[in-house]
Amino acid sequence: MRCVALVTLAVLSFIAITFGLAGCASRCGSTIVSLPRSSPAPVPESRDFSRRGIELFPGVFVDRAERTVEFDAAVIADVSFAETPRVYLETLVCTPMTREHEALLITRVEATHIHAALLALGLEPGQPGRVEWDGSVVRTIPPTGPLIDVRFIVNDATNPGSPPRVYEPADWIVSTREPAPGAAPERPARQGATRAAGTDKSNAATPGSFVFAGSRTRTATVPGADGTTTRVQVYAAQAEGTVVGFAMFSSELIAFVDGFSPDSNVRAPEWIVDTSRVPPFGTPVRVRLQPIVKAGAAVGAAVESR
């Protein structure tokens, strides 16, 4: 009965997304489509992970008891080239044919399915952040939404049968700035000590936090076989490759509250993949999203930009 209820709730959530986007499309006089997705990069399925919950959608797993959403991904950052060891990061998890050159992971699952799975846990999305520049002053509007703990789970290839290793995004990211003598290399702010889901009612975002921003829809022009074009509404996180964000593109499904402008004229690139820590290109990864607060708790604004 519990599984049936979960499936029913998630399907209803997904229908809500679909009809919500469809309503937007009808108001805009256009149609929602799924853009073509293909990629030369390997994206192996991570079926050998310890499964949590049920596979609600292809590659998307929901565990209502543990309040987690997990989805399949793989390492897309390739730091094996001695000539070009630096991979500058602007997003953490992307979709195929989008931001592979500046991402840690790639996923083939539908971003709307991840969105629906989070709705099935009773969460309501906030808004992606954005960067405004009037030519002289840069203003960062942080994202809002329920706090989400983000973890990367990898099987230990050196010790088959052992528990998977769990990382947070900051473990695989390092600054290009030279550390002070004797100091460790600088990393992005961490999410802090893991908090049991439902125990923190403050919902206060801190540096290193992620939130369920929920992305947005946008209009795209799709060419037809007959040479004509069609205006369509697309889910921006899918089309732009901003499933789990880092910089602010104003379209993140899961947004980093310390996001920064991706424009190098506003801020020089700083964060790169840590070549000493990131798993090899193509390594299967399970991305785990876990709400930090109870469903229905008040959603507050994220921290102001510094």
The continuous run of DSSP H or E covering 26 comes out as helix 2-28
Residue 102 counted as domain residue: yes
Residue 272 counted as domain residue: yes
Q: Give the predicted TM-score (pTM) of the model.
A: 0.78
Q: Which domain holds residue 106?
A: 2-291
Q: What is the 3-state secondary structure (H, E, C) of 206-260?
A: CCCCEEECCCCEEEEEEECCCCCEEEEEEEHHHHHCCCEECCCCCCCCEEECCCC
**Mean pLDDT computed over 204-218:** 91
pLDDT at residue 225 in the model? 86
What are the residues whose beta carbons fall under 8 Å from the beta carbon of 78, sequence distance 6 or more?
87, 281
Give the total number of structural domains in the chain. Answer: 1
CA distance 117 to 144: 19
Tokens at 33, concatenated: 């489509």
CA distance 85 to 88: 10
Residue 163 counted as domain residue: yes
Residue labelled with tokens 């609600």 = 56
Res 81 pLDDT > 60: yes
Q: In what order do the strands lie in the sheet with 31-32?
A: 31-32, 229-235, 217-223
| pLDDT tier, 140 (very low <50, low <70, confident <90, very high otherwise) | confident
Residue 304 counted as domain residue: no
Residue 96 counted as domain residue: yes
Residue 302 counted as domain residue: no
151 versus 38: which is more confidently predicted? 151
CA distance 153 to 234: 29
Q: 277 forms bridges with which residues in the sheet?
A: none
Residue 305 counted as domain residue: no
Q: Which of 4-18, 51-65, 284-298 shows the highest mean pLDDT?
A: 51-65
